[in-house]
Structure 1
């Protein structure tokens, strides 16, 4: 199965940029940030994908009739999907791309949607890591408080 990094390598930046602007016109001022992350993905050393996580993208329509594109992760044997927003770029590089993605999306559109999701929190991998750690601390603190009230 194709990895996210291999998918990025299969599509030239100019085509991805065109898709980004077509799919997310409000992101045009941020193309430089997207370009930096795109080019970094071409040479980054992927983290091991020990659980076989795959990225899938599917369109969905909200209650107002607006179409969105859900980019999420799935692992073999698990029926649920999960958000990938706070994953490192090296982790993203190792994810497989679910083959069904290409039933609905061209390679360049798939890269554009993945790139948008990868950078939803930030264009800076270190900032994403910092924010992920802060979020984990908040969750841990809330869980400790919740369970301390139980006993």
Structure 2
């Protein structure tokens, strides 16, 4: 399992935005009101992952991976990478959705009162989804072993020394 590629996440954002926009065109009239609190939970998860990444990075830097005591178990680090990858993908898809909602509401703010009321909530939710995606990528980065020099699997590694 390699690091999550940023271009794959970008493609997921675009795909979710296109499909989401089509769904919003058809279903917007049945949406519940979007408030500022609509996407805040994503920011909470992102904050937890950022703190978790700091903790893992500190343990790895102090060479506290192994068994026993105050050390991180290697399987815990592997599970952390899986959670980070999953969160990055969720953040990308949800960001695409909220960008689709914004693409619908922003141009209609002046003519549709409900779109004007929903725009701030959609903006906050999109920002929170972006924060989740960035925090997940940070958490994944923090799980690298000290010998890893890159996060990008497409970057040439060079010859081993």
TM-score calculated relative to the size of structure 1 = 0.25
- State the structure with bigger RCO (CA 8 A, min sep 6), 1 or 2: 2
Structure number with larger C-alpha Rg: 2
* Structure (1/2) with the larger strand percentage: 1
TM-score calculated relative to the size of structure 2 = 0.24
* Structure (1/2) with the larger helix percentage: 2
